Amino acid sequence: MKRNSIPARGNSQHCSTGRPGSGLRHGKGFGTAELLAGLSLVAVVAGLAAPTYTDAVDKRQIVNDAEHVEHFVNLARSESVKRFSPLTVSYAKDETGEWCIGSTLGHTPCDCMETDATADDFCAIEGAPWILRNRDLQSDWPLYSMEGDGAYAFDPVRGILANPRDSLVLGLSEGDGRFRVELEVRPTGHSALCVPPEGEPIRGMNACAPGS
């Protein structure tokens, strides 16, 4: 008797359907949906990172400006002690927002707004201009407050203010006013930088003491 042949399991062969690529999975490359999803993710990450980067730049800029001003007032103090001569620091601002700080030897205040170097009230020491203007900083108009009577003089013996009732407090801001730094020149002649309560914290800088 002739037996029907039965193909062995595991050895059967699949016939082709005749359609190219039928039965195969596409495992290479990205589809349009995956590409769009990836681009969306990149856009979201970039959007989150942008404010952080901008804040870092603003903080660094306001700190640099404040340190620049502090260096100027500290240099005036050291110049008075070094020369063993009274030295007066003058400061002013006008209605346009321009402001300045200037120094000159003696007890007579100079005018830091004066631009004529030949004028008697021009801020200079031995003919060299000693003026810091707002345009010398990274930000043109970072000043939001200026407190004091316009001038103070140093006692060259001890480096303190000749009049202990004199003082200077400058408030500088950046980032739409969110980041603020105050510079205070104290009766001891020393200066200090701090962050006022209305400003956001800045790493490495102390908060201003209450009531300062």
Q: What are the C-alpha distances in Å from 61 to residues 58, 67, 174, 182, 185? A: 5, 10, 8, 14, 21
Convert the pLDDT of each residue in 169-201 to its tens digit: 999 998 788 999 999 999 999 999 999 999 999
Assigned domain for 76 exists = yes
Q: What is the DSSP letter of 135?
A: G
Is residue 75 in a domain? yes
Q: Which of 133, 167, 132 is nearest to 153 (CA)?
A: 167
Half-sphere exposure in the Cβ direction for 138 (13 Å, CA): 16
Tens-place pLDDT, residues 85-133: 999 999 999 998 899 999 999 999 999 999 999 999 999 999 999 999 9
Closest to 206 (Cα-Cα) out of 173, 187, 181:
181
The structural domain count of the chain equals 1
Residue 188 sits in a domain whose CATH number is 3.55.40.10
pLDDT tier for residue 7 given thresholds of 50, 70 and 90: very low
Written as six digits, the tokens of 196 are 């006022």
Residue at 80 is within a domain: yes
Residue 206 lies in a domain: no
Put residue 55 in one of left, alpha, beta given phi > 0 → left and psi -120 to 50 → alpha: alpha
Q: Specify if 21 maps to a domain.
A: no
- Assess if residue 110 is contained within a domain: yes
Tell me the C-alpha distance between 24 and 105, whole Å: 90
Higher pLDDT, 204 or 32: 204
pTM: 0.74
3-state DSSP assignment of residue 178: coil
In a domain, 1, yes or no: no
Residue 111: inside a domain, yes or no? yes
Give the range of the structural domain holding residue 111, as residue numbers without chain letter. Answer: 56-194
Rounded distance between C-alpha atoms, residue 60 and residue 100, angstroms: 22
